[in-house]
Amino acid sequence: MAAMICPTCGIEMNHHAEKLVYPSAPHEASSADPVLGGMIEELHTCPGCGAGASRRAEPAAPARRQ
């Protein structure tokens, strides 16, 4: 995924954490990673001002057997 840019400083934010969150509504169930059982929320922090931001990670591509 593209780097997150701080809306205040205009610089690239640091991706420092990923939190597993579980579906809380039926419409979210299809977004859950089948291996992890939930969705990954990415946490980013700006090295300039310290502001935090988050976004839902893109689902992982299914693993393929060779």
Contacts with other proteins by CB under 8 A lie at 14-19, 21, 41, 43, 45-47, 49-52, 54
Shortest separation between residue 56's beta carbon and other proteins, angstroms: 11
Q: Residue 29 or 54: which CB sits closer to other proteins?
A: 54
Q: How far is the CB of 43 from other proteins (least distance, A)?
A: 5
**Is 24:6 a contact under the CB 8 Å cutoff?**
no
Helix (H) or strand (E) holding 19: strand 14-21
Smallest distance from other proteins to CB 20, Å: 10
Count of C-beta atoms within a 10 Å radius of residue 49: 12
Instruction: Closer to other proteins by CB, 58 or 66: give it.
Output: 58
Sheet holding 14-21: strands in order across? 14-21, 39-45, 52-56
